[in-house]
Structure 1
Amino acid sequence: MSKQKSTLTGHLAKFFAVSVVVIGAVGVSHQAIAGISTTKHNLGTGGTGTNHVTAGTDEICVFCHTPHASNTAVSAPLWNKKASGATYTTYSTANSSTIDGAVASVGSISLACLSCHDGTQAMDNIVNAPGSGGYDATGGGANGLGYTWTGARVDANGKLTGIANLGSDLSNDHPIGIRYCGGGQDSSSPTGACTDTDFTAPQNATINSAKVWWVDTSGGSAGTREKTDMILYTRAGADFSIANAAPSVECGSCHDPHSNNTTFLRIANSGSAVCLACHTK
């Protein structure tokens, strides 16, 4: 084969390889949007859930994410909302005797969920609004950008009401910001035994040079970290007053905001499957 043909063959091979990757990525993105569009987290004008806008934008992802100028103060992917700044009373504050492990302040992925679900600011509090020239680090303040809302569980300013509004008193909600199973694992001993043996031992792996943990469920393949597993979020050691990073239970441990399950649970809770994935009772 001539050098010219060899080079052309190499370029074609690269082209097709890249094409496959791009098509695959578009397919995944398409699936994700298709799933979200039919859930209550579609807050755009095309939303069919309990609450959505009737005027403002038909975009879906913008209420949580932005490809540019995201709020890096919130540890969630390309977050497009301001953290509410509320002071939270957590379950562990009122029920510390039932918590075996160390407790950290509310942070990580839970702050992202609470930026809507504590009811202190509008759901259209968007840092980088759709279109050009819509950047505002405050997201429009507590009352957001002034979109027009409809729904049984939202007020005129786009703030959640009813059961979806968890408020800042989280003492009657599942604990968050706690070391999973009372502790026992950290980045120096990722397979350590649970302090509280009434819990399923977590799985762990190193992904992008970071140690991560999760609890397998029946919704996926054993030993592989998947969206249908109970995800444990890695908190810095200082959060728990220990030397090394460790797994933490957060809102996103049980809930996947992109799921089409009615309550956004990672798996259906038939027979208490969500609870029993972690708790051995």
Structure 2
Amino acid sequence: MGGAKIEWVYADTASSSTKVLSEMERLVDAEKVDAIIFSSPTAEVMAGASLYDKLQIPVISTIATSEPLFKYNLKYWRMLSIPSDEYGVSVIKWLKSLSDEYRVKVKRIAIATAEVPWLLTYLEYEKEELKKLGLDKNIVLDLKYSDKSELEGMASILLKIKASNPDILIVNDAASTFPHYWRAAHNIGLYPPVTLYALTAIAYPRARAILGDDLMMQHVVSKPVFFGTIAHENTPHKAYQNLQKKIVPWVTKKGRKMNDYIYINAQAAYAFAKVWEMKGTKDPKVVNDA
């Protein structure tokens, strides 16, 4: 960008939808920002919907699935994450490919879902896709469990899954429970022939602290396991490793702690930087149109 310096201005919604509006107005009116990277869940992104086009500052949301915003046809708002229906549909696409290409058995399908709104949405899309394929009749278990489940409670939940003897297990798990899920699965010997995770981060710091790398790897390599999301600093993917080499020193220098969302936000920052460089301006309308 010709040596131009980028100044980062931070806003904290404090996980409160009501604070979204005041923080966005502060960023635009007081801080005079040229773009906004919004790393918050759908409820908070929704709360700001009335301001995006009014403020006319390009906004990229990075983690929200955001379907409720689509109907507004907003001009100054974009998203990097994929919508909920794609999470649900993609899992069933994996299942169909495994069946068609590798003759994996799908006669007994078990589904386990943490009771979190967006995961329940994924579940509905999964069941809809299974019905289109005529596989809904193969569902032997459709189990929902609390996202507050601890290790002991999770063990009783997984025993029900084990008893259903699935060929394919689909798991819609929450960040709050998946470390306990994996530990309990190991303790009771739950290793289905194939497991499909609609959404999980295999190496959140919390999961690693509870399980340890050895147990995590054992869970993954013991049987075919497919993930919608993987976040680990040792992920053997060239683009990911190159990004890490650039991000980690910068984050460390800033005195901030690394987390999984930083990698996603970096993609939004890259998009803005490329447009500023290509267009040679920070004019919001020009940048937004680009």
Give the shorter-chain TM-score range. under 0.3
With structure 1 as the length reference, what TM-score do the two structures score?
A: 0.25
Compare the two structures and name the one with the higher helix fraction. Answer: 2
